[in-house]
Each structure stands twice: as structure tokens, then as C-alpha cells.
Amino acid sequence: GQNIDQPTEMTATEGAIVQINCTYQTSGFNGLFWYQQHAGEAPTFLSYNVLDGLEEKGRFSSFLSRSKGYSYLLLKELQMKDSASYLCAAKAAGNKLTFGGGTRVLVKP
Amino acid sequence: EAGVAQSPRYKIIEKRQSVAFWCNPISGHATLYWYQQILGQGPKLLIQFQNNGVVDDSQLPKDRFSAERLKGVDSTLKIQPAKLEDSAVYLCASSFLGLAATGELFFGEGSRLTVL
């Protein structure tokens, strides 16, 4: 079975840091994606983790712990344009992706 | 490189009517997905194709939804008859599965369906 949990909403101030947590229970797990989705738009790829540890890409970093079924997305130096929904998705065999409900991040000035 | 193309972008129908959505994936992407995204929720997989074969359609309401991918390229998703709860954005995505590929999904802009 597949179960992905992430918080519904988070609010942060411009210039601050926000960490979005994601826990998953996925049969045949073999990777974790994070996508960004602005209102009314399609999801766009942010990061992919398959091994334990931290992957850094500019202001965004993603962490994975396979033993704990846990990942987080870290957004640093928040900008107003980072206001969006962030989707955690677990990959299973056959490249099947199951998405969480998304975390809506609101950045305030 | 052209992205995933979808049409129509918007569709308004009355309940019990039918509707069809079309998707053209990125060239060379063998895997094609249809997701349903209800407002405020994450995308839910309806069906996954590998070339022209179905990999997973376990969450497709087969009494009213159907999808095909003839010739392993374009795909069509049909709803007949539509219900109010089918109001959602229907996202098509494709991915490339080669050695060392992550299997990242590339999404189209979606088809927004409103059922009245």
C-alpha cells in the first residue's frame, strides 16, 4: 500500500527558512520526489532523493531517511515567489509515483 | 524540446454528459500518466501506461472512466457519464525510463473540468 503524509499549510516570513516534512509508507520504495505547484499551474520538479542524506540545490535542499520513511524539503532565504504548494511523492517499482496532499506555503513580507 | 501538450484547457459540462481529454507526451517518453487533482488536494493517479500497455489502473473508476493510448504515443481520457464529483484538473504527465534516469515526471498544463 501507499501512504504519504505532509502538513496541510505553513506560513513563514520573507527571508526566513521553512522545513516541510513528509512521511511515507510505500511498498517497493525506490525514490522520493519533491514538486512545486503554483496556484492554477502544473507541478514542476524540484528534487529527487534515492539514497539517505541531504541533496542541496541552491536555496532548496531535500533530505531522505529510508529507514525512517521520512523526508524533508528545506527552503532557505524565502522569497514571495516561493508561495506555492509543495508536493511530496514516493516512487515505487515501475516508476509509479504516489503524491501526498501537498503543503501550501504562504510567504509573508 | 516541446513539453507535454493537453487539450482542452477548460471544459464545462452538465452531469451525465460525456467529455474527452487528449494528451501528447514528450517525444521518446514511453511512460504516460493521467492524474486527477481535486482543488486543495494532491494529484491522484488514475492510470499509468508503458508504451501502449496499462501498468496500473487500480484507481480508475472503470464504470465511467476509460483511457487509451493507441500506438504508444497520444492518449485520450474519457468520462461518461460525468458526475459532480468529477470536477477537477486532469493532469497528464510523461517520463523517460533509461539507465540512470530518475524517472522524473513532466506535467502538462492540465485540463480543468467543471461539472454542473
Q: Out of B43, B56, B109, whose CB is closest to A96? A: B56
Per-residue pLDDT of chain A (109 residues; tens, 9 = 90+): 678 999 999 999 999 999 999 999 998 999 999 999 999 899 999 999 999 999 999 999 999 999 999 999 999 999 999 999 999 999 988 888 999 999 999 999 9
CA atoms within 13 A of residue B2's CA, in its CB half-sphere: 9
How many A×B Cβ pairs under 8 Å? 54
CA distance to partner chain A, nearest, from residue B80 (Å)? 25
- Subunit contact A102:B41, Cβ cutoff 8 A: yes
**pLDDT at B1 exceeding the cut of 70:** no
Instruction: Name the 3-class secondary structure at B2.
Output: coil
Give, as one character, the DSSP assignment of residue B39.
Answer: T
What would the pLDDT profile of B60-107 be if each residue is shown by its tens digit?
A: 999 999 999 988 899 999 999 999 999 999 999 999 876 667 888 999
Helices and strands in chain B, H and E counts: 0, 11
User: Which CA distances in Å does A25 have to A12, A64, A72, A74, B58?
Assistant: 28, 13, 15, 21, 18
Residues, chain B? 116
Q: Chain B interface, mutation test: which of A97, A103, A106, most B Cβ atoms within 10 Å? A: A97
- Which residues have CB under 8 Å from A96's CB, separation 6+? B45, B48, B55, B56
